[in-house]
Amino acid sequence: MLKPNFKEAKKRTKAEIKVLRDEYIVSDEAKKLGINKKYFIKTYGCQMNEHDSEMISAILEDMNYTKTDDYEDADLIILNTCAIRENAHNKTFGFLGRIKHLRQTKPNLLVGLAGCMSQEESVVEEIINKYKWMDFVFGTHNIHKLPEILLDHINSNKLEVNVLSNEGNIIEDVPFKRDSKYKAWVNIMFGCDKFCTYCIVPYTRGKQRSRMPEDIVNEVKELINQGYKEVTLLGQNVNAYGKDFINRDYKMENLLEDVAKTGIERVRFVTSHPWDFTDNMIDVIAKYDNICNYIHLPVQSGSSKILKLMGRRYTKESYLKLYNKIREKVKNCSITTDIIVGFPGEEKEDFEETLKLAEECKFDSAFTFIYSPREGTPAAKMKDNVSLKEKENRLHSLNDIINKYAKEANDKLVGKVISVLLENVSEKDDSMLAGYTDTMKLVNVKADKKYIGKIVNVKITDAKTWSLDGEINE
Ligand code: SAH
Ligand code: SF4
Ligand code: F3S
């Protein structure tokens, strides 16, 4: 058994980051495992986890499994989990509770845990003690070893726990089975070294490691050949891209420029930490038409006192300066954010500063959260004297402001003609197609299905808080 170890996960050494290119192997024995069998993956968490699930799918298909969207029909179920807040945990354990009975009718069903929760000591202890019926647990560092892990479980017929708590390497040449034919996630870096005091990610994903620019650019070129229209460059802190290169001066602005020059129609990137956002980056975003005018710029709090306790390394003033600079230099840019309410020590006055900042920035939209203590992080030890009721009240009053400005930003677009990448049939109405503007606004468009996968001009006819309606304008 290889269990997670937080003490190891916390370490950051000067050890060289290795780029490993021949680690992914599917043995003939593993290729037989999936014949006539179906797999189901349940994914929680961020875009990185969604993309990891695309990797898990491709690996399972290399083992000859086929995909099913119905977990009751599956022979293999994998939960790719998130650890960011307590409710992410609750959802995973809730789902495990719901599927346990399937074992009675399907004794050969395999159930495994993957993702960030697998990297947590307490979660793995709970699985070992209370979920003995499960089959395997693997982590974020060894997804590519899934064929071996499954074989080991089948040979031992015991709960197989295989989680690494190292700083991590870069594993190249692992396949992906992408969910979309038009837009693709592209990893540019893994891990995080920021250690914001509330956050579990640096412990579950290892140290910051940037992929080689050539590997990223080649991946984007290959995606263009396959007909992809949009790439989203992924990392916990994309602006810090390249800061970990030892003998190379190549930063996010260089990468953005090189990816834009491939000619792909749309380039996005998430997530930007305000700390590493340089003027050069802003200039590159403004210069290239195919770099989307959309920046997710998490602020977390409007109080410099709380930002300091959070370890964010910027102040309210420096955030606002950056925010205004982006608004000024990147025309028609949409800016969204993340905000945590009820962080330990957040007094009424601190929260009011957050409200004031939201009023001032008029974000296009925001994800807002109640602080959730994560075991092992510094903030979990800080004294928290705000009641849950008060935190809920704060969340509601913040959301009122966020919603007001989201609607206002959408209202301004009514009557305008904007380009939209139409991706699929709308969830609400199957005579409509849904897609996103380059500023990341969801648009429902009355249009023939022949437009799916195309970037088209759409005239906006109506605005709601979280979406727009429109019609094709050719
Ligand atoms: N790397 C990104 C954030 C990834 S996590 C960044 O630094 O901006 C996504 C969001 O979850 C964070 O921006 C934060 O708002 C929220 N979050 C993270 N840890 C949290 C916690 N312990 N409680 C509540 N929200 C949290
Ligand atoms: Fe978490 Fe902070 Fe890293 Fe974002 S930058 S992943 S919030 S530690
Ligand atoms: Fe969750 Fe891990 Fe992403 S904790 S938000 S799945 S990096």
- Topology of domain 6-162, per CATH? Rossmann fold (3.40.50)
The residue contributing the CA closest to ligand 1 atom 14 is 338
| Confidence at residue 232, expressed as pLDDT on a 0 to 100 scale | 98
| Confidence at residue 68, expressed as pLDDT on a 0 to 100 scale | 98
The answer to whether the CB of 196 is under 6 A from ligand 2 is yes
Could you tell me the distance, in angstroms and rounded to a whole number, from the CA of residue 46 to the centre of ligand 3? 5
Best residue among 90, 201, 203, 207 to mutate for probing ligand 3's pocket (most ligand atoms within 8 Å of CB) is 201
Q: Residue 186's CB: how many other CB atoms inside 10 A?
A: 24
| Confidence at residue 363, expressed as pLDDT on a 0 to 100 scale | 98
The answer to whether the CB of 270 is under 6 A from ligand 3 is no
Break the chain into its structural domains and give their ranges.
6-162, 176-411, 417-472
| Confidence at residue 385, expressed as pLDDT on a 0 to 100 scale | 85
Could you tell me the distance, in angstroms and rounded to a whole number, from the CA of residue 207 to the centre of ligand 3? 14
pLDDT tens, position by position, 83-141? 999 999 999 999 999 999 999 899 999 999 999 999 999 999 999 999 999 999 999 99
| Confidence at residue 372, expressed as pLDDT on a 0 to 100 scale | 97
Best residue among 204, 238, 367, 372 to mutate for probing ligand 3's pocket (most ligand atoms within 8 Å of CB) is 204
CATH architecture of the domain with range 176-411: Alpha-Beta Horseshoe (3.80)
Q: Which residues contact 261 (CB under 8 A, 6 or more apart)?
A: none
SS (H, E, C) the chain: CECCCHHHHHCCCCCCCCEECCCCCCCHHHHHHCCCCEEEEEECCCHHHHHHHHHHHHHHHHCCCEECCCHHHCCEEEEEECCCCHHHHHHHHHHHHHHCCHHHHCCCCEEEEEEHHHHCHHHHHHHHHHCCCCCEEECCCCHHHHHHHHHHHHHHCCCEEECCCCCCCEECCCCCCCCCCCEEEEECEECCCCCCCCCCHHHHHCCCEECCHHHHHHHHHHHHHCCCCEEEEECCCHHHCCCCCCCCCCCHHHHHHHHHHCCCCEEEEECCCHHHCCHHHHHHHHHCCCECCEEECCCECCCHHHHHHHCCCCCHHHHHHHHHHHHHHCCCCEEEEEEEECCCCCCHHHHHHHHHHHHHHCCCEEEEEECCCCCCCHHHHCCCCCCHHHHHHHHHHHHHHHHHHHHHHHHCCCCCEEEEEEEEECCCCCCEEEEEECCCCEEEEECCHHHCCCEEEEEEEEECCCCEEEEECC
- Res. 474 pLDDT band, cuts 50 70 90: confident
pLDDT tens, position by position, 65-89? 999 999 999 999 999 999 999 999 9
pTM greater than 0.85 (yes/no): yes
pLDDT tens, position by position, 201-226? 999 999 999 999 999 999 999 999 99
The residue contributing the CA closest to ligand 2 atom 2 is 196
What integer is the mean pLDDT of 181-200?
97
Mean pLDDT of the chain: 97
In this predicted structure, the answer to whether residue 428 has a pLDDT above a threshold of 90 is no
The answer to whether the CB of 273 is under 6 A from ligand 2 is yes
pLDDT tens, position by position, 2-18? 999 999 999 999 998 99
Tokens 């490691």, located at residue: 209
The residue contributing the CA closest to ligand 2 atom 5 is 194
| Confidence at residue 281, expressed as pLDDT on a 0 to 100 scale | 97
- Res. 279 pLDDT band, cuts 50 70 90: very high
| Confidence at residue 118, expressed as pLDDT on a 0 to 100 scale | 98
pLDDT tens, position by position, 324-381? 999 999 999 999 999 999 999 999 999 999 999 999 999 999 999 999 999 999 999 9
The percentage of the chain sitting over the pLDDT mark of 70, rounded to a whole number, equals 100
**Distance, CA of 335 to CA of 337 (rounded, Å):** 7
pLDDT tens, position by position, 41-61? 999 999 999 999 999 999 999
The answer to whether the CB of 116 is under 6 A from ligand 2 is no
Atom of ligand 1 nearest to the CA of 196: 7
| Confidence at residue 429, expressed as pLDDT on a 0 to 100 scale | 86
Atom of ligand 3 nearest to the CA of 84: 4
| Confidence at residue 465, expressed as pLDDT on a 0 to 100 scale | 96
Nearest to 327 by CA among 371, 288, 366, 360: 360
The answer to whether the CB of 49 is under 6 A from ligand 2 is no
What integer is the mean pLDDT of 240-258?
96
| Residue type at position 9 | A
| Confidence at residue 268, expressed as pLDDT on a 0 to 100 scale | 98
Best residue among 314, 340, 341 to mutate for probing ligand 1's pocket (most ligand atoms within 8 Å of CB) is 340
pLDDT tens, position by position, 135-159? 999 999 999 999 999 999 999 999 9
CATH number, domain 417-472: 2.40.50.140
Could you tell me the distance, in angstroms and rounded to a whole number, from the CA of residue 69 to the centre of ligand 2? 32
